[in-house]
């Protein structure tokens, strides 16, 4: 009996030593997370409660509730994010399916073309769309020469131009996870569905499409979250008519030098983003979406 107690005590000591070693090995990473993430976010929350007189106050949050302009800004932000995500799904899913059906060499070449925009600065790509979509741009010139319409159409400094630019920038973030999910599907499953009497359309919707849902949901969630904090593209292509939360944050700092109001907007946007991720984790299998759930 005494030997068993000595062994249990030794096991507890070894377990404590193992935990201390793990803590020592992970302490640099924990310190980095503390400095890079926790402290800035904590400072953001603190500044959001500082009023114009330098004292603790809720006026920055009260202003967002009392002024309808803030509600319109949040509505525009979510509207642009939802529309961009929807358009990326409509364009990206068929393109990912097309790439997944190609031979590996051609598929890799297609992926290079998908990733090619990443080799160019975001600002350069946005201004390129500004040149292409303006009234004297190439898109209007070609459309008029082809007889699609008679007069130049305004496609910049509005919602249309903003969505075109954001879809072009966000599309790879949806294609890549969807393509990865499609490539991992065993094609023998489609053959089995065909042998059981399913036509190609039914086999696609009942077998292939459900297996691609984790990749599709992961890509859509990634696109939506990234769109919530977008600044450059709506600022350039929106022309001040499509105002998102990030643009209002910059305006509060540059024009009004109001760090409290800007921090409060950042806090609300952060809380909404975390809430969306939490809701997604409740209704979707995020572990499976990120590839950690196995088969």
**How many angstroms separate the CA atoms of 82 and 96, rounded?**
20
- Domain of 26, in residue numbers: 1-40
The per-residue pLDDT for range 56-73, each reduced to its tens digit, is 888 888 888 888 888 899
Residue 50 is assigned to a structural domain of this protein: no
Residue 135 is assigned to a structural domain of this protein: yes
98 and 229 co-located in one domain? yes
pLDDT number for residue 8: 58
174 and 79 co-located in one domain? yes
277 and 191 co-located in one domain? yes
Question: Is residue 47 a contact partner of residue 57, using CB atoms and an 8 Å limit?
Answer: no
Residue 36 is assigned to a structural domain of this protein: yes
The per-residue pLDDT for range 167-179, each reduced to its tens digit, is 999 999 999 999 9
What rounded mean pLDDT belongs to the chain? 84
Least confident residue range of 16-25, 82-91, 189-198, 210-219: 16-25
12 and 80 co-located in one domain? no
139 and 215 co-located in one domain? yes
Residue 120 is assigned to a structural domain of this protein: yes
Question: Is residue 64 a contact partner of residue 264, using CB atoms and an 8 Å limit?
Answer: yes
Residue 57 is assigned to a structural domain of this protein: no
In angstroms, the Cα distances linking 282 to 91, 203, 219, 275, 287 are: 27, 29, 17, 11, 11
Show the tokens assigned to 47: 């500044």
Give the CA radius of gyration of the chain.
26
126 and 271 co-located in one domain? yes
What's the number of domains the chain is made of? 2
2 and 139 co-located in one domain? no
Least confident residue range of 24-28, 130-134, 184-188: 24-28
145 and 277 co-located in one domain? yes
Residue 295 is assigned to a structural domain of this protein: no
Of 88, 112, 65, residue with least CA distance to 226 = 88
């Amino acid at each position: 009996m005494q030997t068993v107690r000595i062994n249990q005590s030794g096991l507890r000591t070894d377990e404590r030593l193992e935990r201390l070693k793990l803590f020592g090995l992970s302490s640099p990473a924990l310190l980095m997370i503390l400095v890079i993430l926790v402290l800035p976010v904590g400072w953001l929350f603190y500044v959001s409660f500082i009023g114009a007189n330098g004292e603790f106050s809720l006026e920055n949050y009260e202003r967002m509730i009392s002024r309808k302009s803030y509600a319109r800004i949040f509505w525009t932000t979510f509207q642009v994010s939802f529309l961009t995500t929807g358009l990326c799904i409509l364009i990206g899913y068929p393109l990912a399916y097309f790439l997944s059906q190609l031979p590996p060499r051609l598929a890799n070449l297609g992926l290079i073309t998908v990733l090619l925009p990443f080799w160019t600065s975001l600002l350069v790509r946005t201004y390129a769309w500004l040149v292409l979509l303006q009234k004297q741009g190439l898109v209007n010139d070609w459309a008029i020469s082809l007889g699609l319409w008679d007069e130049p159409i305004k496609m910049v400094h509005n919602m249309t131009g903003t969505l075109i630019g954001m879809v072009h920038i966000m599309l790879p973030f949806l294609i890549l996870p969807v393509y990865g999910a499609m490539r991992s599907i065993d094609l023998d499953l489609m053959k089995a569905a065909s042998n059981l009497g399913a036509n190609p359309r039914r086999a696609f919707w009942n077998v292939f499409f459900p297996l691609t849902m984790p990749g599709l949901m992961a890509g859509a969630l990634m696109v939506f979250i990234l769109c919530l904090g977008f600044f450059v593209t709506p600022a350039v292509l929106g022309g001040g008519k499509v105002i998102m939360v990030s643009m209002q944050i910059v305006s509060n700092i540059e024009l009004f030098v109001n760090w409290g109001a800007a921090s409060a907007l950042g806090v609300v946007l952060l809380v909404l983003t975390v809430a969306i991720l939490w809701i997604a984790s409740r209704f979707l299998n995020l572990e499976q979406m990120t590839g950690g759930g196995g088969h």
